[in-house]
Amino acid sequence: MSENNELMDECLMQCPSGILVQDDSGVIKQLNPALEKMLGLSADQLLGHTRDNLPLPVCRSLLKGEGVIHLTGPGLSRESWLRCTNPLQGDDGSLIRFFEDVTETMQLRQENLRLSQQMEELAITDELTGLANQRALNQALSAQVTRSRRYQNPLSLAVIKLQDTADPDTEFSDEIILATSQCLRDRLRWADLIARWDHSHFFIILPETKAQDGIEMLGNIQDWFSENLPSGAGAGRQLALRYGIAEWQKGNDPRSLMEQAVKILNAGSLPEQ
């Protein structure tokens, strides 16, 4: 019998899987080196304790059922994930728990999720300014037009063009584009969506807003911008914001609303109210 016990102890010590043994009263009686390594703890820190009186409360999850266990917190040398599989009940009432270290797999999964979220953000975000991009604008405008069709709520769409009146064909630096986008962010309402369309054009969705109210709002932004030119504009620059605004009417779809706003911008005259 003693030879069998010695063999069992040797198997326990050599097994690559983590093993934890509890007696019939729930006291931890054995912990093999593989599990010590997985936890970054010595067996002495757990042996002789039950789930209720463990000195490291974070380790109580080791004594639950099957599944992945996330171990992090004070007393542990590292964050880890262990999978508990196939607990075995002995004839004497003891319970043997088997653990596999899945930390690397879980970390890779988290990294993949983070990268996926970044890709999703990039797919709807302008890389330079962090504003919504064309794709996000189209999605948001479609949703707002659908809402206005259903409830007849007012909705306006504005297009803004940044230009140098002294040189209409000038190319703007990233610094100026960023300053312009920040100006729009700071002076619009939280419900308004600002999107960068191309190098010098921005679209703004104005929910619950009639065109006349939008004209007043954008006029104030236009005046502020002309009096507070972005740093880095350079001497001789005559920067200004021009805009066109269109109000949703029955029969408009997102594309026609955008076309109306651009037409008004290019015509240089605002719609009559």
Model pLDDT, residue 5: 64
Domain match, 84 and 165 both: no
Model pLDDT, residue 234: 54
pLDDT digits (tens, 9 = 90+) for 229-272: 765 555 557 888 999 999 999 999 999 999 999 999 998 765 54
CB atoms under 10 Å from CB of 144, counted, come to 22
Task: Count the domains in the chain.
Answer: 2
What CATH number did the domain enclosing 237 receive? 3.30.70.270
Q: Is 130 helix (H, G, I), strand (E, B) or coil?
A: coil
Domain match, 180 and 255 both: yes
In a domain, 143, yes or no: yes
Look up the pTM and report it.
Answer: 0.61
Q: Kindly tell me the burial class for residue 228, based on how many C-beta atoms sit within 10 Å of its own C-beta (0-12, 13-18, 19 or more).
A: exposed
pLDDT digits (tens, 9 = 90+) for 88-143: 888 888 899 999 999 988 987 888 788 777 767 667 899 899 999 999 999 999 99
| 273 confidence band (pLDDT: 50, 70, 90) | very low
Domain match, 91 and 177 both: no
In a domain, 244, yes or no: yes
Domain match, 25 and 97 both: yes
C-alpha span between 126 and 123 (Å, rounded): 8
Domain match, 99 and 201 both: no
In a domain, 94, yes or no: yes
C-alpha span between 174 and 20 (Å, rounded): 59
| CB contact at 8 A, 231 and 179 | yes
Residue span of the structural domain in which 56 resides: 2-106
Model pLDDT, residue 77: 81
